[in-house]
Structure 1
């Protein structure tokens, strides 16, 4: 009798836990069971409907660098013919169509560049509503508890422009990227004083959603050591700023707070030998 009573108590507990779990899952999906969770590292910023994940896949993608290498490249028409075009931050196409094209399907945006998008919010979030925006940043700026300054600003845009496709890189995905950096370099990102670049997050995302990636305008890790390398602006749309190689070298040597652009390029080269990643203008010898 005592054994039977324990058995019934066990069944009641299992049933209760099952009900609680089902309620939790349906709540995550706004009332329905999750059937297609998508890429759980990228979560939509939208009021009232939490836990919507980025769910896209493309066979052929173009990843367009913001580098001054794109100036006078004349690759605009080729880029626009790609199935899916990825750009970074607020890199403009207007006035640069001949070199970089005009098609933009997705932008990966740093927390530091979000204010630049907000200055022209009607263009980015209304006129370009078909573009997907994936924002990344540290927890202090992207937290969801009302204390994340950048996340709060993006949620405001999501309410104001309900058609905008705004996503945030999750804390877990950012940690995963930190782990990838450490596995590739043997260095802890934070202890080494490095910040991952928007390019790093963009390359990770591209490999998550694309079968084949054509990268335009990105130099390799040895380019700046070449005696006759071409001197170009760090960004193709900021002609008066410091040149690209000087920027890369300054960041690579920075003890704290630097992007390891050159180290990251060496990582991309290794990935390219394992994945369908191809570099154009300049081309890379892998």
Structure 2
């Protein structure tokens, strides 16, 4: 009788363990991935979660380095619900571009979400559940690359700062779903494109409100566009908490703060299932410049001390080496 009860208890424990494991794997909980190897289970026997790509960024069990850094629970975009910042994050964020007399952050955020949508917003690629992204940097290595069609084939095409497409379509594509910028690098956008603002200070949030309404703010630490053409319903805000997470976890404190290009890449890695990267790094002659400029020395940001361009690029190459992203180095 005792043996029968013991066997029944053992079977029950096994059933609970396997059920818990399968449920957890469905939601891609990395803390339980080692069970897959311990039990010798094939991927074909396990549910795939929400990603239908042949290879997904969130397949983390193969790489401890990536697992230690990737935090899928950290929201990249700000909403009403997650706009409250911890004291540590707020202090770090305000330090990036110090203001003498900053406005009250809570009041500014409240006003901001009266102008733009304040609910959680996600990039939805439709029923395929395989969100493919092209992150397009501004490197001169895009010249003559003929990447335009490949870039435009992704569900989401993320560009940044002043990057033009007109006249460069063959090499850089013509579509833009998300354009990442800050006030000093702003440009007008098409109605179908989402503006993704990277705020470095409270004034940047005030500028966005102004640029979409009254146009009263014309200067931050530099002259800025007083008004901007953009669809208010598609405006997104890069979460300062996510900003700090990228700096602390991925860059390990290198540089004063991450570049726009690295922040755009991290946004894609945390939202997309497959990421293709274009226009990062130097051209084949070692020049760092923008694809729309003839000045081969325009990549001076690498020497300002604000961004550690070399460290960022090395992390990007490591992500490519680990097959988390696919990098196209151009010409």
- Larger displacement relative to structure 2 (45-54 or 258-267): 45-54
Map of 1:173 onto structure 2: 242
* Ranges in structure 2 where 5+ consecutive residues have no aligned partner: 1-72, 80-111, 126-130, 216-226
Report SS of the residue matched to 1:79.
Answer: helix
Judged with a 3 Å threshold, the aligned counterparts in structure 2 of structure 1 residues 39 and 162 are, in CA distance, closer, same or farther, namely: farther
Deviation at 1:171, TM superposition (A): 2.3
Map of 2:121 onto structure 1: 54
Map of 1:137 onto structure 2: 199
Q: Deviations over 1:191-218 (max 9, x none)?
A: xx52310011101100121111111122
Report SS of the residue matched to 2:236.
Answer: strand
- Larger displacement relative to structure 2 (270-279 or 88-97): 270-279
1:239 aligns with 2:303: no
Paired residue total: 211
1:67 aligns with 2:127: no
Q: Distance in 1 between matches of 2:314 and 2:150?
A: 26
CA contact (8 A) 2:78 2:120 kept: yes
CA contact (8 A) 1:88 1:199 kept: yes
Deviation at 1:112, TM superposition (A): 2.0
Deviation at 1:79, TM superposition (A): 1.7
Q: Distance in 1 between matches of 2:291 and 2:115?
A: 39
- Larger displacement relative to structure 2 (98-107 or 158-167): 158-167
Q: Deviations over 1:62-120 (max 9, x none)?
A: 11111111111122122222222111112010011111110111111133212xx1xxx
Judged with a 3 Å threshold, the aligned counterparts in structure 2 of structure 1 residues 151 and 174 are, in CA distance, closer, same or farther, namely: farther
More strand by share: 1
1:101 aligns with 2:173: yes
1:262 aligns with 2:324: no
CA contact (8 A) 1:234 1:242 kept: yes
- Larger displacement relative to structure 2 (204-213 or 262-271): 262-271
CA contact (8 A) 1:39 1:54 kept: no
Report SS of the residue matched to 1:41.
Answer: coil
Decide which of 78, 86, 89 is 2:161's aligned counterpart: 89
Q: Distance in 1 between matches of 2:139 and 2:315?
A: 18
Judged with a 3 Å threshold, the aligned counterparts in structure 2 of structure 1 residues 81 and 53 are, in CA distance, closer, same or farther, namely: same
CA contact (8 A) 1:39 1:53 kept: no
Report SS of the residue matched to 2:235.
Answer: strand
Map of 2:99 onto structure 1: none
1:198 aligns with 2:260: yes
1:113 aligns with 2:113: no
Deviation at 1:241, TM superposition (A): 5.8
Judged with a 3 Å threshold, the aligned counterparts in structure 2 of structure 1 residues 248 and 161 are, in CA distance, closer, same or farther, namely: closer
**TM-score after normalising by structure 1:** 0.63
1:78 aligns with 2:144: no
Q: Deviations over 1:118-167 (max 9, x none)?
A: xxx4xx1xxx1111111102123334xxxx33453246589986555111
Deviation at 1:39, TM superposition (A): 7.8
* Ranges in structure 1 where 5+ consecutive residues have no aligned partner: 1-37
Deviation at 1:250, TM superposition (A): 1.9
Q: Distance in 2 between matches of 1:262 and 1:70?
A: 19
CA contact (8 A) 1:104 1:131 kept: yes
Judged with a 3 Å threshold, the aligned counterparts in structure 2 of structure 1 residues 47 and 68 are, in CA distance, closer, same or farther, namely: same
